């Protein structure tokens, strides 16, 4: 695609309502807090409650710790759901605020602004291999 074709694309709409925006943000923060709780306080549960342990935070290190204590279907089922459940939330936030968020970072930070814009260009160039 050319740059002229990019200019013709309509801008994505913002959130449909403040209530939906707040719900998406609250859920994203909630999943982040669950991950912190799982890492900080409940890492001792990997052998007693491995399902809860990987449901809270399905990082690779947690998955490796809990694997011997789980059936294969529990391991793959819980880990897959936990890893994918928050993705739509971050997609929506990026869709609603992506360009405006990058511009905001550029205005507020002389260090991270150029880094955010450069990362955006890199993802544009390497979109297919990354996906």
DSSP at 17: -
**27 touches 89 (CB < 8 A):** yes
Q: For residue 47, what pLDDT is reported?
A: 83
Structural domain spans, the chain: 17-85, 97-131
Tally the C-alpha atoms within 13 A of residue 130's C-alpha that lie toward its C-beta.
8
Task: Compute the average pLDDT of residues 120-130.
Answer: 80
> What is the length of the chain?
131
pLDDT tens readout for residues 15-68: 888 899 999 999 999 999 999 998 888 778 788 899 999 999 989 998 999 999
Q: State the chain's mean pLDDT as an integer.
A: 84
Task: Compute the average pLDDT of residues 66-71.
Answer: 92
Cα 2 from Cα 40, distance rounded (Å): 48
């Amino acid at each position: 695609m050319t740059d002229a074709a990019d200019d013709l694309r309509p801008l994505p709409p913002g959130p449909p309502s403040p209530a939906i925006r707040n719900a998406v943000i609250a859920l994203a923060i909630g999943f982040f807090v669950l991950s912190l709780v799982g890492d900080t306080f409940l890492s001792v549960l990997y052998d007693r409650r491995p399902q809860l342990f990987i449901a809270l935070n399905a990082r690779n290190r947690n998955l490796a710790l809990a694997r011997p204590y789980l059936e294969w279907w529990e391991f793959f089922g819980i880990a897959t759901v936990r890893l994918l459940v928050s993705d739509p939330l971050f997609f929506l936030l990026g869709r609603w605020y992506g360009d405006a968020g990058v511009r905001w970072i550029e205005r507020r930070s002389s260090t991270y602004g150029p880094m955010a814009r450069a990362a955006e260009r890199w993802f544009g160039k390497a979109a297919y291999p990354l996906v």
